[in-house]
Amino acid sequence: MTLTGGEVGARGARENAVPAVVAKGLTKSYGRGDATVHALRGVDVSFATGAFTAIMGPSGSGKSTLMHCLAGLDTVSGGQVHIGDVELTGLGDKRLTLLRRERIGFIFQAFNLLPTLTAEQNIRLPLDIAGRQADQDLFDRVVETVGLRERLGHRPTELSGGQQQRVAVARALISKPQVIFADEPTGNLDSRSGAEVLSFLRTSVRELGQTIVMVTHDPVAASYADRVVFLRDGLLVSEIHRPTPQSVLDTLMKLEA
């Protein structure tokens, strides 16, 4: 089944722009011989620029594998991945590292902040590593958006889990990546902090035109997205637009049946 970018819910999104991410015929197997696991069996999917997409599916359906292959964190067994106009699957290690640094942002379930750095230093770290200057207007907007103005001088241990994940969201936004991949970004948060982080992701799509692809198993989290795609046994089997928690749940129930 081929799934295309579909409608773009974000105001101001460029509907006809090149998709931020395209995967064609993506396969990924682990192991050899009798022990081979076919985690992805031929996934065709594209993610529109300026849209927020959630990836869902039962445990073991290939969500993390798909995200890792799309983000160049794992090699593919077959097929292609394009990030904008660059084929990621054709790159050697050096150029792949550069592409990840310059075009891709990550948000993980564990916040992955450096404990000795302040919130502000953590936010600026990817730009410092790349030798780039932060656009001060963008820095101010991002800090306002995620509500961290009063916390910039704090170290991670002095922040709540929700605040730490907001720092991680700000860090991903500040380098204006072509796409942000998030794997269960609210998995370690209580529902109130989770809702805050999800609204900031939603706002960054609407206000900054950010493209976001988020893996989640939570129908409420998925309902913040413009579109939800569903995996089962390593294949994309369904998608819905303008999801609600109920429509996501209904689709999941059908998949598990």
Ligand X SMILES: Nc1ncnc2c1ncn2[C@@H]1O[C@H](COP(=O)(O)OP(=O)(O)O)[C@@H](O)[C@H]1O
Residue 77 contacts Mg ion per CB under 5 A? no
Token code pair at residue 36: 């081979």
Q: What is the dihedral of CA 101, 2, 228, 65, to 10 degrees?
A: -50
Q: How far is the CB of 167 from Mg ion (least distance, A)?
A: 23
Q: How far is the CB of 47 from ligand X (least distance, A)?
A: 17
Q: How far is the CB of 146 from ligand X (least distance, A)?
A: 27
Say how far residue 1 (Cα) sits from the centre of its chain.
Answer: 22
CB crowding 144-180: b at 16 or more within 10 Å, else e: ebbebeebeebebeebebbbbbbbbbbbbbbbbbbbb
* Helix (H), strand (E) at residue 253: helix 245-256
Residue 37 contacts ligand X per CB under 6 A? yes
Burial of residue 105 (number of CB atoms within 10 Å: 0-12, 13-18, 19+): buried
Token code pair at residue 201: 């992701």
For ligand X, the binding residues in 105-124 under the rule CB under 6 A are: none
Residue 61 contacts ligand X per CB under 6 A? yes
For ligand X, the binding residues in 62-81 under the rule CB under 6 A are: 62-65
Among 6, 42, 60, 187, binds ligand X (CB under 6 A): 60
Residue window 48-67: x/- pattern of binding to Mg ion, with contact defined by CB under 5 A: ---------------xx---
Residue 229 contacts ligand X per CB under 6 A? no
In the complex, the residues that contact ligand X under the rule CB under 6 A are 30-31, 37, 39, 57, 59-65
